[in-house]
Amino acid sequence: MRETVLNNGVTIPDIGFGTYKSTTNEGYRVIGDAIKAGYRHLDTAALYENEEEVGLAVKKSGISRSEFFITSKLQRNCLGYDSAKKELEESLKKLQTDYLDLYLIHWPRTDFGRDDYDDWKELDRESWRAMEEMVKEGKIRAIGLSNFLPHHIDSLLESAAIAPAVNQLELHPGYLQKEAVEYSRKKGMAVEAWSPIGRGRMMDEPHLKSMAEKYGVSVPVLCLSFCLQSGFIIIPKSTHFERMQENLKVRDDMISEEDMALIREMPECGWSGEHPDRETVQV
C-alpha cells in the first residue's frame, strides 16, 4: 500500500478507514471487518465515542499493534494543557495501547457560544505544548491538526517547538479548500481528506456520474481516486465489506489530467456545513 512520509520521518498509509459513526449499531464488528479487508490505518476520535470498539477490534484481530497506524483526536471542548494530557491518557486506555501513531487537535476552537470560544489561540498553544511533551514521553509518534485554516496555523506556529505533521480537512470534489491545502503544504504538513466522498452528497452530481461512467467505476471510487491523485491521504468509511475492499483498491493514476482539471473547477457543492470559525450550518 502506498504511504506518505511525514515531516518527522513517520510513515502513514495513504488509505485509512474512517470510523465516524461506524460503530453506532454494530459495535466493533465493522472495525473488525475493515481490518479483515486489509486496513491498517484506523482513524478515530474522542468525539466519536468509539475508541473502545477500535481498541477491541485491534486486540481481537490477533495482529501486532505495530502493524497498525492509529489516529485519535483531542475534542474541541477539552482544549488546554491539563485537559489535553488527561484526554490523551483516556484515549490510550480506551484503545488499549500505550501510544498513538497520530494525535490531532480536532477543531481549533471550542463550541460556538462557549465562554472560552474567543480564547482559542491560547487554548491551542497550551494543548500543543502538552502534545509536544507527550511526543517526548513516547506516547505519540506524530502530532497534527484537523480543520485548521491558515490563521489558526499561524497562531499555533508562533510558539510551537514541533511542527505539525498533518492537517486533516474536509476535502472532496466540489469542496477543495485550496488556500488551506496550499498553506498546510507550505508549512510542511501532509494533507488528509475527511469525507472524501462527501458523505454521500456527491452521489447524484451529474458531472461526477457522467465521468464515473466514462471510467467504468462508481462515483465514490471516482471521488477517492481524485483525492489520491491530488496528493491527499484519504480515510473513507463504509459498513459494507465489499465497499471496504473496493476503497482499498482505489488507484492514484486512473483519471486523466484533463478530467482532473475539470473536477477541480467544479462549482462548490457537497459541503458538510461544518466550519471552524462559525456555528455549524445545516446543509
List, by residue number, the catalytic residues: 48
From the CB of residue 182, how many other CB atoms can be counted at a distance below 10 Å?
12
Contacts of 205 (CB under 8 A, 6+ apart): 173, 174, 219, 266, 269, 270
For residue 186, with 0-12 CB atoms within 10 Å meaning exposed, 13-18 middle and 19 or more buried, which class applies? exposed
Q: Are 253 and 186 in contact (CB under 8 A)?
A: no
Amino acid identity of residue 226, one-letter, is F
> Cα–Cα distance between 65 and 55 in angstroms, integer?
10
List alpha helices for the chain, DSSP H: 29-37, 51-61, 81-95, 120-136, 150-157, 178-186, 206-215, 219-229, 241-248, 257-264
Element (H, E) at 43: strand 41-43
Q: Taking the chain, what is the end-to-end CA distance rounded to the nearest angstrom?
A: 35
> Cα–Cα distance between 235 and 182 in angstroms, integer?
20
| All three cell numbers of 140 | 505519540
DSSP, collapsed to helix, strand or coil, labels residue 31 as: helix
